[in-house]
Amino acid sequence: MRVVVVGSGAAGLLAAYRAATLGHEVALVTKADLPESNTRYAQGGVAAVMPEADAGDDSVEAHVADTLVAGAGLCDVEAVRLLCAQGPERVRDLLALGLDLDRVDGPGSALARGREAAHSAARVLHSHGDSTGLSIEIALIGAVRTVPLEVHEHTMLRDLVVEADSRGGDGRGTGRRVVGVDVVRADGTSATLRADAVVLATGGAGQLFRHTTNPEVTTGDGVAAALRAGAVVADLEFYQFHPTALAVPGTPLISEAVRGEGAVLRDGAGRRFMLDVHPDAELAPRDVVARGIAAAMAAQGGAPVYLDATALGGQRLARRFPGITATLQTHGFDWGAEQVPVTPAAHYWMGGVRTDLSGRTSLPGLFAVGEAACTGVHGANRLASNSLLEALVFGWRAAEALDTQDWPTPPAARTLPVAASRGRKVSRPNGALSREALQALLWADAGLVRDAAGLRRAADALADARPAASGDPLRELEDRNLIDLGRAVVAAALARTESRGGHARSDHPAADPAQAVSTTWRLPAAALVPVAAPTTGALA
């Protein structure tokens, strides 16, 4: 069968590789160069309980328990068990494809294990210290180049191609089926790639926010396209803010593994403030640490707090975290001798296109994997280093299920009180919204801590928003996606009147047991992309 995979992070690359090895005709579409994705910037590692790591004090059951605790009551237990049980085998697949993981005492010795926040044991595997994502990306690109598939670089997803589904009257909800993708190339030309199945692996939408650890390509293209096509999305209000991004332009990430090695957080007066916030202090769940930092910053007029790793010594830091050390040196910091300023930044979206355990969405023909998907494994707050694991496990599972004939009945979903922007002309001058203005709006009113007044203010500002003219058609397409997703995130955040995981409401500071359920959404029928007339043709 013909398969289009959109996105070249770990989930997309593994899905494309596995699909090709199973004999499918595969086209891999990516917006930038093949290696450019969130995966390559992942520093901390991949969490997996493996005998090869001499994990005698750990277990899959403990990994499951830690994931459920971090997920704050919203995880899908079956998905979590599958993630933790199948993760080790997927890591072994990568080792067979050439992934070089760090070892305790050189080649042939046990895999080295690191400790990160909210893990009860050291189970995080890493490569070259803090370059795990890059190493995985390199291994998977090498694998992709050994199998027969097409690669379309510098090719952006504009929308999914949908047709009327002859089976639409059997409870699937929209009567629509995905039959390909509409793409735009860097030179401005368009194309339609027809397929029997489309796999979205387009990552998150960190560019919604003024401060993010994500690269510029993370504009939520796949989730936005799926939403416009009629797919059910879920848990959009849950955005994880990484506690420690370097407080300089670009906010580069400083891995949680640094705190796992013993670094601590201090306020401007030198006080280790997280001791008063949570019993686990710097190793508390990410949402707790991020809000603790935000509160400390607010108490000192918004100035950054400091990450103090000086007790580890410069040589140990350079050996364990060579990439971070180089980044800090570029910005003039010697973290072996001085504290470095840090601030929270948008990092990972727990929400996305709702899928089953094989990556199937509510639309026949459409799969979603990686950060673009909401599988239920992360709940309200992702456990550190589970993202790469999810990409591997569910990217593989989606490829295995491509020729499925049975499609799951979609879950019941609320209608989003939003209208998708279709690139229409601005209806009035103040309807144009630049990316920078959107990012500032969502950072202020739908960011780390929210309330009803701010969310309503954001909803009003986005109600008639259209992308501002930039002279760059591809950037305007990205901005259309960000505006569509901004509306959806704000609507979901307004609907959840409690605080849970990555969603914090200052006007509803406690968790509400009655709201310990996943929320699912879809656009009204009038806002969906038109159904295409049936056409024929192979992959372009």
Query: What band does 405 get if pLDDT is binned at 50, 70 and 90?
Result: confident
Residue of 177, 286, 360, 480 marked active site: 286
In this prediction, residue 536 carries a pLDDT of 42
Spatial separation of the C-alpha atoms in residues 11 and 199, rounded to whole Å? 10
In this prediction, residue 14 carries a pLDDT of 98
Q: What is the mean pLDDT of the chain?
A: 92
Angle of helix 473-495 relative to helix 435-445, nearest 10 degrees, comes to 20
Spatial separation of the C-alpha atoms in residues 316 and 320, rounded to whole Å? 6
Query: What band does 533 get if pLDDT is binned at 50, 70 and 90?
Result: low
In this prediction, residue 36 carries a pLDDT of 81
In this prediction, residue 174 carries a pLDDT of 65
**Burial code of 421-460, b = ≥16 C-beta within 10 A, e = fewer?**
beeeeeeeeebbbebeebbebbbebbbbbbbeebbebbbe
Could you read off the pLDDT of 120-173 as tens digits, one per residue?
A: 999 999 998 888 999 999 999 999 999 999 999 999 999 999 999 875 444 445
In this prediction, residue 537 carries a pLDDT of 43
Could you read off the pLDDT of 377-403 as tens digits, one per residue?
A: 999 999 989 999 999 999 999 999 999
Task: Using a pLDDT cut of 90, give the percent of the chain over it.
Answer: 80
Query: What band does 425 get if pLDDT is binned at 50, 70 and 90?
Result: very low
From first CA to last CA, the distance across the chain in angstroms is 15
- 20 with 151: CB under 8 angstroms? no
Of 258-267, 295-304, 403-412, 475-484, the least confident: 403-412
Spatial separation of the C-alpha atoms in residues 70 and 67, rounded to whole Å? 5
**Burial code of 300-326, b = ≥16 C-beta within 10 A, e = fewer?**
eeeebbbbbbbebeeeebbebbebbbe
In this prediction, residue 160 carries a pLDDT of 98
Could you read off the pLDDT of 443-464 as tens digits, one per residue?
A: 999 999 999 999 999 999 999 8
Q: Which of 27, 77, 86, 114 is nearest to 391 (CA)?
A: 86
Query: What band does 418 get if pLDDT is binned at 50, 70 and 90?
Result: low
- For range 13-29, the mean pLDDT: 98
Spatial separation of the C-alpha atoms in residues 391 and 533, rounded to whole Å? 34
Query: What band does 286 get if pLDDT is binned at 50, 70 and 90?
Result: confident
Residues 6+ apart with CB under 8 A from 273: 265, 266, 267, 292, 296, 305
Beta bridge partners of residue 242, listed in sequence order: 345
Residues 6+ apart with CB under 8 A from 316: none
- Three-state secondary-structure class, residue 53: helix
Could you read off the pLDDT of 96-128 as tens digits, one per residue?
A: 999 999 999 888 899 999 888 889 999 999 998
Do β-strands 520-522 and 233-234 pair in parallel, antiparallel, or remain unpaired?
antiparallel
- For range 52-67, the mean pLDDT: 89
In this prediction, residue 170 carries a pLDDT of 41
Question: Does residue 194 carry a catalytic annotation?
Answer: no
Residue-range domains of the chain with CATH: 2-204+350-400 (3.50.50.60), 244-345 (3.90.700.10), 417-526 (1.20.58.100)
- 478 with 217: CB under 8 angstroms? no
In this prediction, residue 180 carries a pLDDT of 98
In this prediction, residue 167 carries a pLDDT of 59
- CA dihedral of 20, 23, 27, 30, whole degrees rounded to 10: -20
In this prediction, residue 430 carries a pLDDT of 58
Confidence check: pLDDT of 355 > 60: yes
Confidence check: pLDDT of 427 > 70: no
- For range 255-271, the mean pLDDT: 94
Six token digits for residue 410: 């979609």
Could you read off the pLDDT of 504-530 as tens digits, one per residue?
A: 999 999 999 999 999 999 999 988 999
- Three-state secondary-structure class, residue 277: coil
Beta bridge partners of residue 265, listed in sequence order: 307
Six token digits for residue 470: 């930039």
In this prediction, residue 424 carries a pLDDT of 40
Query: What band does 244 get if pLDDT is binned at 50, 70 and 90?
Result: very high
The one-character DSSP state at 412 is P
Q: Calculate the alpha carbon distances from 207 to 87, 96, 126, 253 in Å.
A: 29, 35, 27, 15
